[in-house]
């Protein structure tokens, strides 16, 4: 119950006070400023990669990833023998998420463009490329494609930043960036 209810019960037909019009105008203008700031920051902030998304069956994505691994594996790394894949620059590169790993390890050339395809086999995962500021949600049944141009030689960590279960804290992957040949 309002402190001072309107005289007429049909309140939406009552005229607005000047202070109400002022606050509505301020809120509307602020909403426009925030909207256009987001659009502007998308193009100038360089933190949000433009990407494409397609529906895909997880099995189909797994087949494409395995075909790439079979074709471009250069060595195995670690005790588990994870494949290190070095596809040619400009090619399609696949990385899949599943409980609790990013597979395979990628080896990319510095300054070269790649089309990185990401998808999940089971749950929602987060793709966070460290120390870069790339954060993308990866969903099962969807293939996210983004153009990636590695800048700087070194080892980059891929971390899942969406809680995906008991082994979430161990879900890490790698991307090696090597000097261009």
Domain residue ranges in the chain? 14-44, 51-178
Structure-model confidence comparison of residues 9 and 91, the more confident one:
91
To the question of domain 51-178 being in CATH 2.60.40.420, the answer is yes
Task: Tell me: pLDDT of 47 over 70.
Answer: no
Reported confidence tier of residue 78, pLDDT bands at 50, 70, 90: confident
Residue 114: closest CA among 136, 155, 77, 85: 85
Taking only the tens place, the pLDDT of each residue in 94-118 is: 999 998 899 999 999 999 999 999 9
The pTM is what? 0.75
Q: How many angstroms separate the CA atoms of 98 and 143, rounded?
A: 14
Residue 101: closest CA among 149, 53, 160: 160
Q: Residue 130: beta bridge partners?
A: 157
Task: Tell me: pLDDT of 1 over 70.
Answer: no
Burial class (CB in 10 A: 0-12, 13-18, 19+), 104: buried
Taking only the tens place, the pLDDT of each residue in 114-162 is: 999 999 999 999 999 988 878 889 999 999 999 889 999 999 999 999 9
Structure-model confidence comparison of residues 4 and 104, the more confident one:
104
Q: In this structure, are residues 77 and 71 in contact, taking their beta carbons and an 8 Å threshold?
A: no
Q: In this structure, are residues 121 and 101 in contact, taking their beta carbons and an 8 Å threshold?
A: no
Quick one: tokens of 36?
Answer: 């256009």
Task: Tell me: pLDDT of 61 over 90.
Answer: yes
């Amino acid at each position: 119950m309002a402190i001072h209810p309107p005289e007429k019960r049909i309140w939406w037909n009552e005229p607005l006070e000047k202070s109400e019009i002022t606050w509505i105008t301020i809120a509307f203008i602020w909403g426009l400023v925030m909207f256009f700031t987001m659009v502007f920051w998308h193009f100038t902030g360089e933190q949000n990669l433009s990407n494409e998304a397609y529906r895909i069956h997880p099995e189909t994505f797994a087949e494409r990833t395995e075909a790439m691994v079979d074709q471009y594996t250069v060595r195995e790394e670690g005790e588990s023998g994870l494949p290190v894949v070095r596809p040619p620059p400009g090619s399609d590169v696949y990385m899949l998420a599943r409980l609790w790993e990013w597979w395979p390890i990628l080896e990319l050339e510095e300054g070269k463009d790649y089309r990185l395809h990401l998808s999940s086999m089971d749950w929602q995962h987060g793709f966070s490329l460290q120390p870069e500021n790339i954060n993308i949600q990866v969903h099962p049944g969807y293939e996210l494609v983004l153009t990636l141009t590695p800048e700087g030689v070194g080892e980059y960590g891929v971390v899942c930043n969406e809680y995906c279960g008991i082994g979430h804290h161990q879900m890490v992957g790698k991307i090696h960036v090597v000097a261009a040949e």
